[in-house]
Amino acid sequence: MDWLLSGEPWIEYRARLDLLGQAEDDAGVRAARRAMLADARVRALVAGLAGWPGEVLASHKSASQPFHRLAFLADLGLRKGDPGIDAVAAAVMAHPSEEGPFALTMNVSAGHGGTGVDTWSWALCDAPVLLYALVRFGYGDEPSVRAAIAHVAGLVCDNGWPCATSAALKFRGPGRKDDPCPYATLVMLKLLSELEDCRDGPACRAGAEALLGLWERSLDRHPYIFYMGNDFRKLKLPFVWYDIVHVLEVLTRFPWLRKDARLLDMAAVLRAKADQDDSFTPESVWTWWKDWEFGQKKVPSRWLTLAARRILGRLEG
């Protein structure tokens, strides 16, 4: 814990809240939060979102995409009223689609079923991430946010969430129509875990069962070409795509899952990767984040260790 608290202010802030259980009004928490907001890298992330939505979205897996950066700031604990947050949140909410979810500019080539032109649209691999960030920032009671959440939550099927997009996009991923999209299901669960009136409902239970069922059948079930093999099991941050740390972070948020043998089996894979001093070293990195302390594979990462201890702590509590 001393090692975590001696790290960057955003690590200290989350360690105090998530591992020590300190309150926001604790003197140490308040000091760490002030230092986090003044941190040059955090400020640069916020400033980089000022031209929202930024570049045209070509790949949801790209770790540099503005909506992934927005979610990272939300995970750090930035909120309404912090420098730059109100402006970017307003920019996000300025582009509701006809269906409700907030749109981004995308360009899907004709070869992939699109139009080849820039289009304001949304997909279930971006809309929940935007909504998650808005809810974490403190905009969850905005009527447009609630309407967007209602639409995407309502797309759930018996086996999780499908690959779904706005009518304007005319695109579907490489999979059978009746299959769940593992990533869409993951980020929908992450969004709904933030909502007290949703986190115990049938939609979350269907989504959780879908992901745990895929873990159980990881050798032969790979819907939409999402695997749970060697690459999936490498420790990697921040939460961008479909990997073991991201899935565990989301599923352990649901108390009613914490005795599930499949979840405990997945957590055992994470636990086995601890170093001798109970810290964790990244096994894969997003190159866009190489200047952050988790963006390397040579030494233990405080941010990854914090995430792992938070996950395992939920299961051991």
pLDDT in tens, 199-247: 999 999 999 999 999 999 988 888 878 889 999 999 999 999 999 999 9
In a domain? residue 24: yes
In a domain? residue 20: yes
Q: What is the pTM of this model?
A: 0.95
What is the rounded average pLDDT of the residues 187-192?
A: 98
In a domain? residue 19: yes
What pLDDT does residue 108 have?
65
In a domain? residue 107: no
Pairwise CA distance, residues 66 & 104, whole Å: 10
Pairwise CA distance, residues 184 & 244, whole Å: 15
**What is the domain range of residue 9?**
1-38
Give the residue from 93, 88, 9 showing the smallest Cα distance to 47. Answer: 88
In a domain? residue 11: yes
Pairwise CA distance, residues 244 & 218, whole Å: 12
Return the bridge partners of 102, or none: 96
- Name the DSSP class of 238: S
- Tens digits of per-residue pLDDT, 48-102? 999 999 876 667 888 899 999 999 999 999 999 999 999 999 999 999 999 999 9
Q: Is pLDDT of 111 > 60?
A: no
In a domain? residue 28: yes
State the pLDDT confidence band at 277, using cuts at 50, 70 and 90. Answer: very high
Give the residue from 269, 261, 248, 235 showing the smallest Cα distance to 314. Answer: 248
Name the CA dihedral angle for 87, 125, 76, 282, rounded to a multiple of 10 degrees.
-140
Residue 175 carries which side chain, given as an amino acid letter?
Answer: G
In a domain? residue 10: yes
In a domain? residue 295: no
What pLDDT does residue 106 have?
82
First to last CA, the chain: 17
Q: In total, how many domains does the chain have?
A: 1
What pLDDT does residue 288 have?
95
- The DSSP element (H or E) to which 299 belongs, if any, is none
